[in-house]
Structure 1
Amino acid sequence: MPVAPARFLVVLDADSTLIRNEVIELIADEAGRGAEVAAATEAAMRGEVDFASSLRSRVEALEGVPVAAFARVLARIEPTPGVRELIAAVHERGGAVGVVSGGFHEILDTVAPNLGVDVWRANRLATRDGVLSGTVDGAIVDAAGKAAALREWADENGVPLTRTLAIGDGANDLEMMAVAGLGVAFNAKPAVRERADLVVGPVDLAEVIPLLP
């Protein structure tokens, strides 16, 4: 993270926000289970099922996928239009950028620094003998975990919560959006648009730049 204090903090979700993809679906494609996992992901993002339970069941479907497949997944990642412009604008104004994701460090550890993100947090996939074991390693980053990360990063950077902005698309983002000074629904599900402070319609993160303090 930048040397504290930052002027403000912007925290984004990863899948379908920072990037266009849902990473778990790309990994599931490697196991031939993409459609099955995509349906379960959609239900979770609409808030129809408990996120942690849904994630565990979806990760079970990844059992046996070789770790080497991550290179193919990374090659398919598409940054969201405007993301580099938004991050550059945050930094130009003395702010910090965090990403907190219900996805996976195995992908975000490459994608986040390449896009200029200052700090990030996600789930980790357990492995055994070079393949995925079908379980999550450690505590799951759920809605409460996302809100906690925003609070923690704001505190570390000396940023009051009133000067934080959270951007997300799914039900799992609602708690961090509620904690933030401004909660922005981006490319979002109806339930998220209804509860956000502001809705950004175009799938272009540069649209967020005028909202920066």
Structure 2
Amino acid sequence: MDSNGNLTGGGIVHVPLREKGQVVKSIQEETGIDIERTSAVGDTAVDVTMFRRARVSIAFNPRDTATERAATHVVRSRDLRSVLPLMLGDGV
């Protein structure tokens, strides 16, 4: 994170496949970012625990109905940038 608290993309976090929600929770606790300021994007059922730790959860080209049902939004697109309005609050 930079001095303004923004993620820089410079870190590496190894995330066990079925523990994404716990990893998000740990990052939230470490950074002081709460669920209301968290977004999550995923495409399979292993992302559902991560969705539960985010105000905005986006199933991006979901591969199963469980992922669709768990997300606050479903986006079908070839362009990942199409989730940005939802994450930034323009589409919520």
User: Is 2:45–2:64's contact at 8 Å kept on the other side of the alignment?
Assistant: no
Deviations 1:167-188 (A, max 9, x none): 0011111101112111110121
Deviations 1:16-48 (A, max 9, x none): xxxxxxxxxxxxxxxxxxxxxxxxxxxxxxxxx
CA distance in 2, matches of 1:189, 1:150: 22
Deviations 1:122-144 (A, max 9, x none): 36xxxxxxxxxxxxxxxxx032x
Deviations 1:86-135 (A, max 9, x none): xxxxxxxxx43xxxxxxxxxxxxxxxxxxx62433236xxxxxxxxxxxx
Where does residue 37 of structure 2 map in the other structure?
Answer: 163
Where does residue 73 of structure 2 map in the other structure?
Answer: 198
Q: Which runs of 5+ in 1 are unaligned?
A: 7-94, 97-115, 124-140
Q: Percent identity?
A: 29
Count of residues in Structure 1 that have an aligned counterpart in Structure 2:
87
1:55-204 correspondence runs (5 A): 95-96=6-7, 117-122=9-14, 141-143=16-18, 145-191=19-65, 192-204=67-79
Distance 1:119 1:151, change over 3 A: farther
* Residue identity matched to 1:175: T
Distance 1:161 1:3, change over 3 A: farther
Give the SS at the match of 2:52. Answer: helix
* Residue identity matched to 1:188: P
Give the ranges of 4+ consecutive aligned residues of structure 1 lying more than 6 Å apart after TM superposition: none
Distance 1:203 1:119, change over 3 A: farther
CA distance in 2, matches of 1:171, 1:179: 14
> Comparing both chains, which one has the higher relative contact order based on Cα–Cα distances under 8 Å and sequence gaps of 6 or more?
1
Report the TM-score when normalising by structure 2.
0.77
Larger radius of gyration: 1
Q: Which runs of 5+ in 2 are unaligned?
A: none
Give the SS at the match of 1:180. Answer: coil
- Choose between structure 1 and 2: higher strand proportion: 1
